[in-house]
Amino acid sequence: MKYESIFSLLEKTTATNQKKVALGMKTLWGWNEFTYKGLSLLAERLGAYLINDLQIPKGEKLAILSESLPEYGVCVFGSVLAGLTIVPLDNKLTIYELTSILSSCEPTVLMTSSKNYKKAQELQSKIPSIKHIILMEASEYECENTPSLYSIPANYSAKWRRRPLHDTALIIYTSGTTGAPKGVQTTYKNMLAQMYGMRKVLKSMMPKNKEMRLLSILPMNHLFEMTVGFFTMLTHGYSVYYTSSLKPKDILDIMQEKKIRFMVTVPAFLKLLKSYFESEISKKSAMYKMIFNIKYHLAAFMPFYIRRLMFRTIHRLYGKHFFGYISGGAPLDPIVGAWFKRIGVRIFQGYGLSETSPVVSMCNNPNQDNMRSVGPILDSYEAKIDSETGELLVKGPSVMKGYYGRQDLTDEVLEADGWFHTGDIAEIRNGLLYITGRIKNMIVLSGGKKVFPEEVETVLQQSDKFAEVCVVGMPKAGGEKDGCEEIVAVIVPTEEVINSYSNFDEVETAVHKEVKSLSLQLASYKRPINIVVRQTGLPRTATSKVKRKEVKALLAECGK
């Protein structure tokens, strides 16, 4: 397939949507919004500065250290115009972790938000390759050696640098990388193939509405946000809004004010929002709760538009215009997905990896009832299941170029003929993809039986008493099974459960009882041997995935 260049796409989109809001975010001083024309002009200003004033050679790297801001888009498009490779950084990483990453990719320019300026300064002192720091906002830190996007010369022209499709556009480092960083090289062709693949999916998902507005809470250093929530949505002429708050009430207020139509999010937020709605309902009168429960059960037999009418009080909180979510970054709890669908809110679940740019599959059928599936595989991919291991392998134009500077690691997952090993155990049934576990998470018991923790977690997550669930394998010390793994369930109860007992011993007893009851749904060898109850949340990545290694380290420290 012949792909149109990023340049052509941006030019066409800007020409068609000049006065429409492209990117926006609420600040203490009101709304910070860029029209498509304004975004284009500021990106040209940055691109010209990088080429003419700083004379950064084509192909050099520009790193971005920032939370999600409208100015982030300026940095991305300005870098594209200047022919640079973009390295989006997780601003929640430590100096140690960031030093490791930047030592690997050696950027020449570091763009930073004001909040991260001090960290950027420290990184420049440690990384010799960083010659220039540019602030993304007008700031008190601006000076001659550290300009901002708004103080650089007002020059909007230069000889823009077009690069071949096989060139690296982005280097994405997985969150929490230390020691030997692993940077995924995403090419222009990877990105374009992803955008074209998602175009067909979005056409079947989205309502016919020229004023399409979306809200995204994913960090821009996450490839799902970069290629889907950012590039793909902007090439469709949509308006993308960001928020600094993850509180359900604040997010619902933004949805109302900006007439948000849909949202790009992660499963952890959907679970939080469901709990928020349920908490609000619990405060109502007994009659209200009874009527809600009756409507909830009846809604299963109703068409979707009737469900929206039945639960119009909830839809008013959304602002009446909202119709659904795109969920990615982690597995969606089927119970959470089913709850939203029952009240008339669609959820389109996707699956992918950074190495696949990232979407491999996406639910594109608004009427799909199976919340355990991650939808059909995109047309641009070939897919197969390894007959021996059950691993999903994919091949297509969105598969990465390789890990930056790590051919050894690339060869471990990418075959010479283009087949990529996802590391996920999967099934394909009736054209739909089901992810059932990760090879590296697999627990091998003493008798040789294999258990995937995700399967056990799905059963335990049925409980409304548990806020968080993580299942891991821990080596047993001593006895005949010394060194063999045992199944350990780590549970964080909800605040309601914790507050309903007089002491934590009683909480633990209640949790143990609940786990054992739910575990009866599993084969005996899959049931947790050890149950650990925590009052504090589990360690998570920027996209809310549980860090299993850190959970295991915590268990090892306390001798569990």
- The model carries a pTM of 0.85
Q: Give pLDDT, residue 544.
A: 79
Condensed to tens digits (0 to 9), the pLDDT of residues 36-48 reads 999 999 999 999 9
Condensed to tens digits (0 to 9), the pLDDT of residues 355-413 reads 999 999 999 877 777 788 999 999 999 999 999 889 999 999 999 999 999 999 999 99
Higher per-residue pLDDT: 14 or 365: 14
Q: Give pLDDT, residue 158.
A: 94
Q: Give pLDDT, residue 246.
A: 87
Domain with CATH 3.30.300.30 in the chain: 442-557
Strands (DSSP E) found in 56-202: 61-65, 85-89, 109-112, 132-135, 168-173, 183-187
Condensed to tens digits (0 to 9), the pLDDT of residues 106-163 reads 999 999 999 999 999 999 999 999 999 999 999 899 888 899 999 999 999 999 999 9
Q: Give pLDDT, residue 215.
A: 95
Mean pLDDT of 421-442: 91
Burial environment of residue 309 by CB neighbours within 10 A (0 to 12, 13 to 18, 19 or more):
exposed
- 245-438 folds as Rossmann fold (3.40.50)
The one-character DSSP state at 546 is: B
Condensed to tens digits (0 to 9), the pLDDT of residues 148-177 reads 999 999 999 999 999 999 999 999 997 433
Q: Which two tokens stand for residue 159?
A: 């000889």
CATH number 3.30.300.100 given to 6-205 = no
Give yes or no for residue 543 having a pLDDT over 80.
no
In terms of C-beta distances under 8 Å and separation of at least 24 residues, what long-range contacts does 510-514 make, across chains too?
Answer: 510/465, 511/465, 511/466, 514/463, 514/465, 514/466
Token look-up 């589990």 returns 538
SS3 499: helix
Q: Give pLDDT, residue 417.
A: 96
Domain with CATH 3.40.50.12780 in the chain: 6-205, 245-438
Can you give the length of the chain in residues? 560
CATH superfamily placement of domain 442-557: ANL, C-terminal domain (3.30.300.30)
CB 266 within 8 A of CB 237: no
Least confident of 184-188, 293-297, 463-467, 474-478: 474-478
Q: Give pLDDT, residue 176.
A: 38
**Among 261, 256, 154, which residue's Cα sits nearest to residue 215?**
261
CB 359 within 8 A of CB 198: yes
Peptide bond into 528 cis (omega under 30): no
Mean pLDDT of 237-256: 93
Give yes or no for residue 503 having a pLDDT over 70.
yes
Q: Give pLDDT, residue 179.
A: 47
Q: What is the rounded CA–CA span in Å between residue 56 and residue 557?
A: 48
Q: Give pLDDT, residue 175.
A: 47
Q: What is the rounded CA–CA span in Å between residue 206 and residue 366?
A: 9
What lies within 8 Å, CB to CB, of 196 at 6+ separation is 1, 3, 380
Q: Give pLDDT, residue 267.
A: 87
